[in-house]
């Protein structure tokens, strides 16, 4: 503590000595020129202000830290300031640039963009906390991938994020879980991003995803009701409409798979799994009967926390007893060391009870669409090679698959 006080005092002494060493004439001239650029528009025109600002910049290039700081503090409250002067001070030390970044109304997007691009993390952190940030500026801040800056940006209620920025931060949250909670509170986040984030979110964030983003498909079902008959009459020949209608329809279980299955029903397959334990073939069969691909089923059943299992059971119309059977088939603990219900099992049950069937189906079908339907051999190769792709190179579903399945294909 005493060392800290001594260091602070030494800094103050050094600052005072620097101020004292400056010639009085220079100090007076800097102050007068700063006063001139601070005059209202009724006293000085734009050209006069600009020329004075240019002269002030030339003086500040050779000025001391104390002088530059004094000028920045003088200019911070102004709504008008010479652009050459603000550009110069914005690229100065954080202690100097901070006066303008925090308070200056004279800065525009180009000023902030240039500052974010040309300076370091300390400047970008101050910009991230500034009020009224536009999408252009926040994209530049996100592009640098700095944890503190992104966290500050997400917690800034007066910043606006583009969808490109949101997608980048969704991917960033995979390696930096602390970003998940503030990102889930952002109004710009869409269900597609929340559903893929679910795989690496903690229990509280997963609950938020389900409460906020597990939406109903009722409106889509109403407007597409007669289209099902049209598609059926055409023999479901169009793969584009068929895939979309599979996402919209009310029925989750796969009737064709049930007709071919060695099991009487999905419940029967789950009961057998509970008795003998889950195998790869049985897991694939349960997936087919549930109307999802085996890859999606493997991702759901392999999740260590278990909430996706509750979503699978609720979306397919299984009961809580079936959920328990499936939990047991994977040898997951039901009872903790203290004799009470295991926390993981409690959390899975709560997830099962809180979700409506239709909303659980929305999440389940999005996972299936993103994790398997969009998965082409080319995309698998890109995942294995660790590619992320530029904006627009991959679809929403393909980007979701790349993020959610990267671990699976790199093992």
User: What is the tens place of the pLDDT at every residue in 172-196?
Assistant: 998 999 999 999 999 999 998 899 8
Average pLDDT (383-400) is 52
Beta carbons of 143 and 165 less than 8 angstroms apart: no
Query: Mean pLDDT throughout 32-41?
Result: 77
* Alpha-carbon gap, residue 137 to 73, rounded angstroms: 23
Neighbours of 276 (CB within 10 A): 10
Compute the average pLDDT of residues 11-22: 52
- Choose the weakest-confidence range: 4-13, 26-35, 232-241, 272-281: 4-13
Average pLDDT (288-306) is 92
* Confidence grade of residue 386 (pLDDT, cut at 50, 70, 90): low
* DSSP secondary structure code for residue 279 in this structure: -
Closest CA to 324 of 344, 345, 305, 303: 345
Question: How far is it, in rounded angstroms, from Cα 112 to Cα 92?
Answer: 13
The answer to whether the CB of 249 falls within 8 A of the CB of 267 is no
Distances (CA, A) of 285 to 227, 276, 279, 288: 30, 15, 10, 5
Between the alpha carbon of residue 2 and those of residues 5, 9, 15, the distances in Å are 5, 11, 20
Q: How far apart are CA 24 and CA 409, in angstroms?
A: 69
Please report how the helices 203-213 and 357-368 are oriented relative to each other, as an axis angle in degrees rounded to 10: 110
Structure-block tokens of residue 350: 């709560």
- Please provide the DSSP assignment of 55-109 as one string: HHHHHHHTS-HHHHHHHHHHHTT-S---HHHHHHHHTS-HHHHHHHHHH-SS--H
**pTM for this model (two decimals):** 0.80
Q: What is the pLDDT of residue 177?
A: 93
The tens digit of pLDDT for each residue in 213-230 reads: 999 999 999 999 999 999
Nearest Cα to Cα of residue 26 among 64, 78, 53: 64
**Residue 59: per-residue pLDDT:** 86
Q: Six-digit token pair at 190? A: 């869409």
Q: What is the pLDDT of residue 374?
A: 45
Nearest of 348, 265, 276 to residue 314 by alpha carbon: 348
**Which has the closest alpha carbon to 294: 281, 307, 304, 305?**
281
Residue 346 corresponds to which tokens in the numbers above?
A: 């409690």
Residue 15 has pLDDT above 50, yes or no: no
Among 205-209, 266-270, 334-338, which is the least confidently predicted range?
334-338
Flag whether pLDDT at 42 surpasses 80.
no
State residue 379's pLDDT score.
39
Average pLDDT in the chain: 85
Confirm if 85 and 104 have CB atoms less than 8 A apart: no
- CA–CA dist 16, 90 (Å, integer): 24
Per-residue confidence band for 335, with pLDDT thresholds at 50, 70 and 90: confident
Half-sphere CA count of 58, side-chain side, radius 13 A: 6
Three-state SS at 319: coil
Q: Is the pLDDT of residue 79 over 60?
A: yes
End-to-end, the C-alpha distance of the chain in Å comes to: 49
Number of Cβ within a 10 Å radius of residue 398: 19
Question: To the nearest 10°, the Cα dihedral for 343, 349, 353, 354?
Answer: 40
In sequence order, which residues have a C-beta less than 8 Å from that of residue 272 and are 6 or more positions away? 263, 282
């Amino acid at each position: 503590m005493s060392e800290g006080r001594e260091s602070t005092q030494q800094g103050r002494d050094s600052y005072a000595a620097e101020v004292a060493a400056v010639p009085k004439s220079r100090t007076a001239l800097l102050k007068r020129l700063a006063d001139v650029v601070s005059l209202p528009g009724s006293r000085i025109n734009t050209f006069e202000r600009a020329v004075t600002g240019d002269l002030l910049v030339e003086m500040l290039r050779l000025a001391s830290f104390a002088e530059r700081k004094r000028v920045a503090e003088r200019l911070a409250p102004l709504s008008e300031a010479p652009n050459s002067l603000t550009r110069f001070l914005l690229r100065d030390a954080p202690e100097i640039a901070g006066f303008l970044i925090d308070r200056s109304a004279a800065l525009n997007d180009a000023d902030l963009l240039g500052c974010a691009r040309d300076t370091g993390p300390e400047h970008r952190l101050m910009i991230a906390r500034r009020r009224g940030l536009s999408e252009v500026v926040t994209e530049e801040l996100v592009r640098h991938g700095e944890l503190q800056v992104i966290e500050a940006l997400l917690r800034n209620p007066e910043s606006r994020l583009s969808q490109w920025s949101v997608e980048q931060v969704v991917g960033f949250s995979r390696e930096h879980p602390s970003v998940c909670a503030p990102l889930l509170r952002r109004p710009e986040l869409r269900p597609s991003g929340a559903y893929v984030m679910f795989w690496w979110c903690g229990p509280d964030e997963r609950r938020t995803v389900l409460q906020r983003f597990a939406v109903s498909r009722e409106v889509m079902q109403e407007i597409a009701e007669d289209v099902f008959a049209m598609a059926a009459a055409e023999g479901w020949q169009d793969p584009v409409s068929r895939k979309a209608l599979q996402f919209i329809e009310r029925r989750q279980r796969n009737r064709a798979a049930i007709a071919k299955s060695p099991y009487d029903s999905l419940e029967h397959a789950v009961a057998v799994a509970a008795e003998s334990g889950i195998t790869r073939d049985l897991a694939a069969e349960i997936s087919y009967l549930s109307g999802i691909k085996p890859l999606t089923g493997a991702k759901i059943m392999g999740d260590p926390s278990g909430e996706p299992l509750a979503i699978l059971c609720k979306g397919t119309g299984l009961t809580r007893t079936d959920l328990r059977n499936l939990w047991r088939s994977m040898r997951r603990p039901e009872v903790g060391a203290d004799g009470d219900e295991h926390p993981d099992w409690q959390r899975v049950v709560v997830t099962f009870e809180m979700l409506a069937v239709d909303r659980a189906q929305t999440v389940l079908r999005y996972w299936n669409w993103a994790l398997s339907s969009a998965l082409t051999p080319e995309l698998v190769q890109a995942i294995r090679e660790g590619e992320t792709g530029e904006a627009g190179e991959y679809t929403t579903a393909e980007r979701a698959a790349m993020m959610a399945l990267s671990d699976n294909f790199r093992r």
